[in-house]
Amino acid sequence: MPFVKERFIVPQKIQAFLFVMRTLNCTQGQSQRVLAKGRLLVDGVSMSNRGEDIEGEVEIVYFKPKSKGLTPLFQTPDFMVFEKPSGVLVHPNTMATPYSMLDEIRTLSGDNANACHRIDMETSGLLISSKHKKAETTIKTLFADRNIKKSYLAWVDGKLTEAFSSHEPIKTSNDYTTSKHKVYIDPKGKLSKTDFLPLKYDKKLDATLVSCHPHTGRTHQIRIHLFHVKHPILGDPIYGTTFATSDAYLDGHITESERMINTGASRLMLHAQSLEFDYGSGFYIESKSDFDSMSDLICPKEDRCFNTLEE
């Protein structure tokens, strides 16, 4: 469990934020965040007064990384690139999250290391993380300014034969009563662009391996663009399936066999394949995973029964 609660004895009065700084070997800003989130407890009660003195027995709840031994695919003194497995969060979304990529990142490089971009939990592939705060700021700026080129691989439903681009604008949903889609295509949405190149068609599976090149970084951009052209990514539990299936998935009530039949695969068949950027010098980093062969995770064509829903 990455978040732990530990007891400490404070032998003499000291300001709360100073105690947290010295105990966790962190910056003043990090200490103040611990207090702001109520993670310093006195007599079992959270305290948030940063300047208040404390003495005696206290408890601190803090992130204590626990590695599973995942090593970087590539690293420099400033950053690391990991092959993130499908099903693993980048950051813990609650204090009860048992494991995330942050466990590996901070085990290797300490509390100032951090992931620098988002990858959906079920998407596998390349994840870049900083080793220190200055590198984090630089890399996040590169992403914000669209100076990092990314490519993905996806196994999609049906046959695609020609390269194409999607320029459909994307809008965030705020109504999940009839659809669990987090985003949808809308003329009032944000400008978005993705280029797609079919690489291989598997007739037996009725599935196409597609290379995807996003030029913008909207939430679920590749997923919604492929769904919009009626070739949803296989295994997608949100786009390209029924409301009931999406609801069951989000509630954690879907079985493995139901997932296979109703979404077309046992996981989201999307993989972050490459990163290209300048950081002092030029870098091109490509995944070593054989995503092509992961087609064995796809449900046979004759057993699939999911629906490509209208938006």
Per the confidence metrics, is the pTM higher than 0.85? yes
The CATH code of domain 3-63 reads: 3.10.290.10
Question: Which of 53, 111, 120, 157 does the annotation list as catalytic?
Answer: 120
pLDDT of 71 reads: 96
Intrachain domains 3-63 and 147-311 with the same fold:
no
> Is the model's pLDDT at 306 over the cut of 70?
no
Arithmetic mean of pLDDT, 288-309: 86
> Do the strands 124-130 and 270-279 form a parallel or antiparallel pair, or are they unpaired?
parallel
Which are the contacts of 51, defined by CB distance < 8 A and separation ≥ 6?
15, 16, 17
Q: Do 87 and 44 meet the contact criterion of CB atoms below 8 Å apart? A: no
> Is the model's pLDDT at 122 over the cut of 60?
yes
Please say whether the structural domain 66-145 has been given the CATH code 3.30.2350.10.
yes
Arithmetic mean of pLDDT, 155-179: 94
pLDDT of 307 reads: 56
Ranges 32-36, 43-47, 61-65, 272-276, most confident? 272-276
> Is the model's pLDDT at 297 over the cut of 50?
yes
Arithmetic mean of pLDDT, 165-176: 94
| Cα Dmax for the chain | 73
State the pLDDT confidence band at 52, using cuts at 50, 70 and 90: confident
Q: pLDDT tens digits for 69-114?
A: 999 999 999 999 999 999 999 999 888 889 999 999 999 999 899 9
Arithmetic mean of pLDDT, 110-132: 95
pLDDT of 268 reads: 97
Q: Do 73 and 288 meet the contact criterion of CB atoms below 8 Å apart? A: yes
Reduced 3-state DSSP string for the chain = CCEEEEEEEEEEEEEHHHHHHHHHCCCHHHHHHHHHCCCEEECCEECCCCCCEEEEEEEEEEECCCCCCCCCCEECCCEEEEEECCCCECCCCCCCCCCEHHHHHHHHHCCCCEECCCCCCCCEEEEEEECCHHHHHHHHHHHHCCCCEEEEEEEEECCCCCCEEECCCEEECCCCCCCCCCEEECCCCECCCEEEEEEEEECCCCEEEEEEEECCCCCCHHHHHHHHCCCCECCCCCCCCCHHHHHHHHCCCCCHHHHHHHHCECCCCEEEEEEEEEECEEEEEECCCCHHHHHHHECCHHHCCCCCCCC
How high is the mean pLDDT of the chain? 92
Please say whether the structural domain 147-311 has been given the CATH code 3.30.2350.10.
yes
> Is the model's pLDDT at 40 over the cut of 70?
yes
> Is the model's pLDDT at 311 over the cut of 50?
no
**Structural domain boundaries of the chain?**
3-63, 66-145, 147-311
List the structure tokens of 186: 């809308």
Q: pLDDT tens digits for 203-257?
A: 999 999 999 999 999 999 999 999 999 999 999 999 989 999 999 999 999 999 9
pLDDT of 310 reads: 46
Arithmetic mean of pLDDT, 289-293: 95
292 a catalytic residue: no
What percentage of the chain exceeds 90 in pLDDT?
75
Closest CA to 236 of 224, 251, 253, 218: 224
> In whole angstroms, what is the distance from residue 31 CA to residue 214 CA?
38
**Please, what's the b/e burial string for 223-239 (b: 16 or more CB within 10 A of its CB; e: otherwise)?**
bbbbbbeebbbbbbbbb
